[in-house]
Structure 1
């Protein structure tokens, strides 16, 4: 059972990684001093995205719905978050690898190809969707009905069994 103090800590950690991700997306193009600084920023950003996805799944496993065997209900309810998080992670890693390959030896030059610019736009659009879905899911997982036996859960269990 996820208690209030534990939920607050998990929520704080998740939002800290999300804020870092937002700041990294916003200001990574302004850091051109050394090639290693954006590399470290991108690695921390990608690890943060991966960590947030792992924490969401751990929160899924902690719910009474998951423990009652209604995994399909959780997956159905949070499919958008799972899909958007996966797409955003793939787009972010792809963008970070591409931009680092182009700028590693030429930090002072302007090295934007058309493909990189398209990937940049898609990654930033996916980030907006990721922030929305992830925040919504995190707040929905704070619902106490998900962590205890209730009439709603029994009705869902019988509906699924039929």
Structure 2
């Protein structure tokens, strides 16, 4: 069980993961000429998003509502949060796979298809 003093540590961890996610989304286009570094940043970003989701679930599992067995109530209250977290992870992974497939073949050309641009906008707006 988490003590009240430990919530600040968990909140700090969530903020650090959010800042890293924002950092990679903001500056990953600057590393277009180095696809290996961009691949490592994307993998770490996806692992960070997954880790943030795990921390969210652990926080939900430590509530009194979960321990009392009221899973329906807990899922009803946090349904949008869980779905948005899963949607953000799915959009990020699909965007990263598509970008790396295009960048790995031709690293110095600027290739943006209509579908990639739509996925890019959806992933950025879906935050």
> Which TM-score bucket, shorter chain as reference?
over 0.9
Aligned equivalent of 1:104: 104
Tell me if structure 1 keeps the 8 A contact 2:35–2:107: yes
Residue 62 in 1 paired to residue 62 in 2? yes
Aligned pairs, number? 127
Matches of 1:82 and 1:97, distance apart in 2: 23
Unpaired runs of 5+ residues, structure 1, are: 128-162
1:25 alignment counterpart: 25
Segments ≥4 residues shifted beyond 3 Å: none
Secondary structure of 1:30's match? helix
Secondary structure at 1:108 match in 2: coil
Q: How does 1:4-153 map to 2 (within 5 A)?
A: 4-127=4-127
Aligned-partner Cα distance in 1 for 2:34–2:23: 19
Distance 2:3 2:11 in 1: 12
Q: RMSD between aligned alpha carbons?
A: 0.9
CA positional deviation for 1:20: 0.3
CA contact (8 A) 2:32 2:103 kept: no
TM-score of the two chains, using structure 2 as the length reference: 0.96
Q: CA-to-partner distance for each residue in 1:52-96, whole Å, 9 max, x for gaps?
A: 111111111111110001111111111111111111110100000
Larger radius of gyration: 1
Alpha-carbon distance in structure 1 between the residues aligned to 2:113 and 2:33: 21
Scaled by the length of structure 1, the TM-score of the pair is: 0.76
Q: Secondary structure in 1 aligned to 2:107?
A: coil
1:32 Cα offset (Å) = 2.2
